[in-house]
Amino acid sequence: MTTIKDIAELAGVSVGTVDRALNNRGRISPEAKKRIESIAAKLNYRKNKVAKSLANRKLNLKIAVVLHIHSNEFFGEVLRGIERARTEIVDFGISMELYRCKEFDPQDQLHLIDTAIAEGANAVVIVPINHPEIIKRLHRLNEEHIPFVLLASVLEDVKFFSAVRCDYARSGWMAGGLLRLISGGGCKALAFFPSFSMLGHKQRLESFRLYLEKHCPGITLENVVELPNDGFDSYQIVREELSSHPHVSHIVYNGVYSEAGIKAIENSGRRIQSIFFDFAPPTKQALIEGKISAAILQQPEEQGYRAIMVLFDYFTANVIPPEQTIVESYILFKESIEALPK
């Protein structure tokens, strides 16, 4: 493994000069820079992440995580991933601060971003609320050269450092495929989706609809309902929809309050097959008990973890991440999780 010291010796200069050459810090003659760079290339020099991090400690690097809500089933998992990342980066001298927001309150989120910067954040992971003020603030982050990572969300017209999310269109498509599979291609169905103010949810629905149109002439989607941001209201809505659509036999439920959906189906007394998104404990239990047919997971824990690690790699090894990190969606059914015999 070659070190800057090796390069310095070969080039007949000091390590300081090599450092300046290889990190574009200026204050170096073009010739020296070029010579050193070519030696480094020839020796296939790679900066040692560990040594760099040890030296970096003095910089006191800090990552701010700004949410759009306080927490919920999905983001509780996301936060677990973020906490796991935290334990991995502390030894590298990088700290992390969490800023939770009042539910979908753009003003509060704006304030949180300001606070984070004021408190010395060198980078931001954010679940942005889709609001002009927030977009404007993100533009300003770019001007201030504070890299930010979009987490579990889609945002148009903003240049970001990187984004970590699932493929919303894909998971909608998969829901269509699953519905076809469990219904044999013929049924009347209802779909419930969370707030369309998150663009991803809209994309997912579009894709789900498209699948049914293209591949499922026998499936009638009787209604698509946007769920409110409350468990009891959600419950009520599902109950009412089921009442007013007495022939519906299948449901796709993509709500933040999974228990609302489960209970509403159960209490309807009907024999309904259903596909749920995500995997909070109620969903897990319901799946095991056969109350729901399948769940589509989007690895929230992994998304939270990745979002931090993108910045970690940047800080420790100057890695420029891909524009998007897409976390795979996958399917669980009863047999994936129930206890095995013996």
Partner DNA sequence: CTGTTAGCGCCTTCAG
Partner DNA sequence: CTGAAGGCGCTAACAG
Across-strand partners of 95?
62
Task: Choose, by CB under 8 A, the member of 11, 39, 53, 86 that binds a second copy.
Answer: 53
The answer to the question of residue 176 lying near a second copy (CB under 8 A) is: yes
The answer to the question of residue 32 lying near DNA (CB under 7 A) is: yes
**Distance, CA of 78 to CA of 50 (rounded, Å):** 27
| Residue 34, CA atoms < 13 Å, CB-side half-sphere | 3
Residue 178 interacts with, from a second copy, DNA, none (CB under 5-8 Å by kind): a second copy
Burial class (CB in 10 A: 0-12, 13-18, 19+), 269: exposed
Task: Choose, by CB under 7 A, the member of 34, 38, 42, 54 that binds DNA.
Answer: 54
Task: Compute the least distance from the CB of residue 332 to a second copy, in Å.
Answer: 7
Task: Choose, by CB under 8 A, the member of 91, 103, 119, 133 that binds a second copy.
Answer: 91
Q: Which two tokens stand for residue 128?
A: 């942005």
Task: Compute the least distance from the CB of residue 10 to a second copy, in Å.
Answer: 21
Task: Compute the least distance from the CB of residue 4 to DNA, in Å.
Answer: 4
Q: Of 114, 118, 120, 119, give the one whose Cα is nearest residue 138.
A: 114
Residue 330 interacts with, from a second copy, DNA, none (CB under 5-8 Å by kind): a second copy
The answer to the question of residue 48 lying near a second copy (CB under 8 A) is: yes
Yes or no: say if 148 and 138 are a contact pair by the CB < 8 Å rule: yes
The interface with DNA within residues 55-84 (CB under 7 A) comprises 55-59
The answer to the question of residue 90 lying near DNA (CB under 7 A) is: no
**Distance, CA of 105 to CA of 193 (rounded, Å):** 20
**Distance, CA of 87 to CA of 267 (rounded, Å):** 43
Q: Report phi then psi at 94, rounded to 5.
A: -110, 130
Yes or no: say if 104 and 68 are a contact pair by the CB < 8 Å rule: yes
Near DNA by CB under 7 A, which window of 11-19, 64-72, 98-106, 136-144? Answer: 11-19
| Cβ nearer to a second copy, comparing 54 with 159 | 54
Under DSSP, the state recorded for 321 is P
| Cβ nearer to DNA, comparing 1 with 339 | 1
Q: Determine which helix (DSSP H) or strand (DSSP E) holds 326, and give its type and residue range.
A: strand 324-327
Task: Compute the least distance from the CB of residue 338 to a second copy, in Å.
Answer: 8
Task: Note the residues at the interface with DNA (CB under 7 A).
Answer: 1, 3-5, 12-17, 19-20, 22-23, 25-33, 47-48, 51-52, 54-59
